[in-house]
Amino acid sequence: MIVEVEGLRKSFGSTPVLTGVDFAVPPGTVLGILGPNGAGKTTTVRILTTLLRPDGGSVRIAGHDVVRSPRAVRAAISLTGQSAAVDGGQTGRENLVMIGRLMHLSAAESRTRARGLLDRFDLNEAAHRRVGSYSGGMRRRLDLAMSLIGRPRVIFLDEPTTGLDPASRQDMWAAIRELVADGTTVVLTTQYLEEADRLADQIVLIDGGRVAARGTAAELKRTVGGRRLEFSFPSPDSYDVGISRLPGGIGDPGARLITVPSDGSADTLRRLLHDLNGVPLSTVTEHSPTLDDVFLTLTGHRPGSESPQRREVSA
């Protein structure tokens, strides 16, 4: 195991943020840390990357303890944080060479690797432009390239695609997959279930400072089982009546959606529609459980707006 976390605890003042987190990551795999806002994802990453001291528990990265030998840990890792840590006043190439030098590569080696990374991340044409003129997607790609110049063994990505448009997100995903193909270990946090679904070999769901569930995406989906029926209401009033008539449902008043477990049979649908008799209804959709449902079932709330694959049924 290249990352070993045991009984990790951390409080800020009297507010506990992590209350005993355990997980381990085999080399060359991707671990997705999933959780609602404020669950402790970023705190976990900050401890694993030596930026925060834990209150208790142990963390070993590439065999080194983060508290006892932070410098050895730093030589083996890199962090790409939520906001792209790049200098707008330097060119893409200058940013890369600077980090290479600070990773203690020679000037020549830094330049060679910078050239290779600019190529790989499709930043060649912009290499000599100041980063201030880059698009959001280009900044993130440069940020990731800067993380790679020291050839880290473990890469931490804290919400790597938050705020990116769908095309840039796809580019980042492709870049992350390539890393793993090279044998690098990746630990990423995300609020996007689709991201965890596509990239992560193993998922750890953190809620309220502890691990609420763990496993592969398929295993997690199986834990919530069955199929889902989602009722969409045209008005807040109809939603309110709906939620009183569907006692097993999990509601989202903002989106006026109620999700109900189902066995997929026509009888179940007929019975539920009968319960809703006379209540205005926009659509009913049926879908297989997604990580969204895992999240909803285990944490009681939605992570953000995601659109799972679904079949529309006219109401």
Q: Which positions lie near another protein, rule CB under 8 A?
A: 49-53, 71-72, 74-79, 81-85, 87, 89-90, 94, 98-99, 101-105, 109, 130, 146, 150-153
In the complex, least distance from residue 190 CB atom to another protein, rounded to whole angstroms: 18
Decide whether 107 or 315 has the Cβ nearer to another protein: 107
Helix, strand, or coil (residue 118): helix
The side-by-side arrangement of strands in the sheet containing 56-61 is 15-25, 3-12, 56-61, 64-65
Decide whether 45 or 258 has the Cβ nearer to another protein: 45
Positive or negative, the CA dihedral 219, 224, 227, 231 is negative
Residue reference for tokens 């750890």? 204
H-helix or E-strand spanning residue 190: strand 185-190
In the complex, least distance from residue 160 CB atom to another protein, rounded to whole angstroms: 13
In the complex, least distance from residue 182 CB atom to another protein, rounded to whole angstroms: 11
Decide whether 94 or 286 has the Cβ nearer to another protein: 94
Q: 239 to each of 85, 256, 306, 313, how far by Cα in Å?
A: 44, 6, 20, 18
Decide whether 151 or 222 has the Cβ nearer to another protein: 151
In the complex, least distance from residue 163 CB atom to another protein, rounded to whole angstroms: 13
Decide whether 91 or 297 has the Cβ nearer to another protein: 91
How many degrees, rounded to 5, is the angle at CA 25 between CA 22 and CA 218?
A: 90
Under a CB-based contact definition with an 8 Å cutoff, are residues 120 and 43 in contact?
no
Decide whether 48 or 260 has the Cβ nearer to another protein: 48
In the complex, least distance from residue 116 CB atom to another protein, rounded to whole angstroms: 15
Looking only at the bridges linking them, the beta strands covering 30-34 and 77-80 are unpaired
Q: Measured in whole angstroms, how far is the alpha carbon of residue 166 from the centre of its chain?
A: 15
Decide whether 90 or 282 has the Cβ nearer to another protein: 90
In the complex, least distance from residue 110 CB atom to another protein, rounded to whole angstroms: 10
In the complex, least distance from residue 242 CB atom to another protein, rounded to whole angstroms: 44
Decide whether 86 or 224 has the Cβ nearer to another protein: 86
In the complex, least distance from residue 195 CB atom to another protein, rounded to whole angstroms: 20
Sequential DSSP letters for 257-296 = EEEEEE-S-HHHHHHHHHHTTTS---EEEEE---HHHHHH
Residues 6+ apart with CB under 8 A from 41: 33, 34, 35, 158, 159, 189, 206
Q: Measured in whole angstroms, how far is the alpha carbon of residue 212 from the centre of its chain?
A: 15
